[in-house]
Amino acid sequence: MPTTDRNFYLNLLHFAGAVIITCLMAMTITLLCILLKPHFPSFEVTSLTVTSMPINTTVHQKHAVTFDFQGLLENPNALLVVWYAKLHLVLWFNNSSLASLPLEPPPLSNKVQTNTPFQARFAVDTEKFPGGVLREMAAQRRAHGSVNFAITLRAWIKFKLGGLGFKPRFMSLGCSPLQVAFSPEYNDKNETGILVAPSECYAD
């Protein structure tokens, strides 16, 4: 093979090798960018039980309504750990805030946790309900056999990769409507309502 042809093929091989290496590096960088791009956790309300919901709204006496709540936080990031601080739940009916409650953040871990369960209990005196809320709840229950509530989860979160931490961000996730069904029978033994179906939450 003439020297000119040999040099041409060597240059072609070098060029092809450089193109392949460049493509591999670009693919690696793109993949790392995708894997390292922070994604906010998703949240799902898995259970909500309302106990001692008063039926007779004309009787003005102190009465505690209990809301037992369970939820599940999911980390969609493959490589990033999510650190939570100042977790807070707010319970709503229509546009009225019924109660708020701080939550214990999950323990710090260097491992990527995919699912973090939460549970909380609100015990709210009916005297502290905003005006007219009990009447609206009773009317909704009579009309539909259920009452729609909502929950907001708020927290400061920080994404971490090993010893590297990203800037903290504020997260607010709204869960609505949470349809809680009650028995159609109106008596003292049927004041408990149960969430009809799990509900996913979305950024406010």
CB 57 within 8 A of CB 138: yes
One-letter identity of residue 141: R
Rounded Cα distance, 75 and 120, in Å: 20
- Residue-level pLDDT at 30: 58
Q: What pTM was computed for the model?
A: 0.76
Same domain flag for 139 and 169: yes
- Residue-level pLDDT at 76: 86
- Residue-level pLDDT at 114: 73
Same domain flag for 98 and 134: yes
CB 113 within 8 A of CB 106: yes
- Residue-level pLDDT at 152: 94
- Residue-level pLDDT at 115: 82
Same domain flag for 71 and 30: no
Same domain flag for 152 and 119: yes
Which parts of the chain register pLDDT below 50?
A: none
- What sign results for the dihedral spanned by CA atoms 18, 24, 27, 30? negative
Same domain flag for 17 and 93: no
pLDDT digits (tens, 9 = 90+) for 43-99: 999 999 998 877 665 555 667 889 999 999 888 888 888 888 889 999 999 889 998
* Cα end-to-end distance, the chain, whole Å: 71
Same domain flag for 3 and 42: no
Same domain flag for 54 and 10: no
* Domain count of the fold of the chain: 2
Supply the CATH number for residue 189's domain: 2.60.40
Rounded Cα distance, 72 and 46, in Å: 7
Distance of CA 14 to the CA centre of its chain: 52
